[in-house]
Amino acid sequence: MIVVLLVALGCIALTLRSQTGRRFLTGQLLDPNLDQFNRSTFFTGDPTGVSQWTRASVAHRITIRLGCVLLAFAYLYGLITYPALSVAICATLAAAISLYGGYKSWRWAATRQLRNHVINPLYDGLKQTVGWADNIKPGDVVLVTKNYHRDGVTVLPPSDFQRLDTPIEHTETIASRTLGGNWKATWDLVGQPTVHLQHTPEPPDQVTWDE
């Protein structure tokens, strides 16, 4: 117990001695040129950041960093006082993380064809028309299933999107050229703007009286 406390105090002292360490503990970005720390972003975050970490609020970064440090100290303390229990907990967490990582990898592999042939091409085609920011991920705004020809495709425009006749016409044209066939766009601008793209099959050349 004393050893753990001494190691913890030593790490904290060494961290506080350097500017990088102080910026780390206060939740700021480690690169001063990229940091936009101020009171207005302490809880809300910075929407202009180039990544999720830079857009995160300072309070969020403080929570993540101090949480990692406290978990490390708790692990050292557990190895000294309750080694068997600490090893069992760590093994359980490692197994859970491995299962989650395997599931995410399986999901990534299973949706590879949809990403390459539906999500990414449709996102690239609609980006200028809809007006997504550069840091938006295609999978977050283009929602699609394997049976997208039957179920359709849901697209989430930005919250400040304004319905205009030109974007509506362009959306249907881009969807038809990207996904093939004829696609109809149904818009819903109440709350979160949403456009649902539905595949409309071409009419048959000949029909019978029974049809």
Judgement on whether residues 138 and 176 belong to the same structural domain of the protein: yes
Contact 91, 116 (CB under 8 A): no
Q: How many domains, in total, are found in the chain? A: 2
The set of residues, in sequence order, having a beta carbon less than 8 Å from that of 145 and lying 6+ positions away, is 151
Q: What order of strands is seen across the sheet that includes strand 142-144?
A: 142-144, 153-155, 194-200, 182-188
B/e letters for 177-202, b = 16+ CB within 10 Å, e = fewer, are ebbeeebebebeeeeebbbebbbeee
pLDDT of residue 211: 52
Enter the tokens of residue 175: 């969807």
132, with CB counted inside 10 A (0-12, 13-18, 19+), is: buried
Q: How far apart are CA 8 and CA 72, in angstroms?
A: 10
Instruction: Give yes or no for a contact between 171 and 184, defined as CB atoms under 8 angstroms apart.
Output: no
Q: Does some domain include residue 210?
A: no
Domain shared by 98 and 151, yes or no = no
123, 137: one domain: yes
**Residues of the chain with confidence (pLDDT) below 50:** none
**pLDDT at site 12:** 76
Q: What pLDDT score was predicted for residue 38?
A: 60
Are 106 and 116 members of one domain? no
Which one of 110, 127, 152 terminates a domain? Answer: 110
Q: Mark which of 71, 86, 110 sits at the end of a domain.
A: 110
Neighbours of 167 (CB within 10 A): 21
Crossing angle for the helix pair 2-17 and 58-81, to the nearest 10 degrees: 150
- What is the rounded distance in angstroms from the CA atom of residue 21 to the CA atom of residue 28? 10
- Residue 167: the pLDDT is 63
In a domain, 125, yes or no: yes
Partners of 186 in the beta sheet? 196
Same domain, 138 and 76: no
Burial of 47 (0-12, 13-18, 19+ CB in 10 A): exposed
Q: Which domain holds residue 150?
A: 112-200
Of 110, 130, 163, the residue that ends a domain is 110
Q: Are residues 103 and 156 in the same domain?
A: no
Q: Which two tokens stand for residue 42?
A: 């302490």
Distance CA 56, CA 194 (A): 25
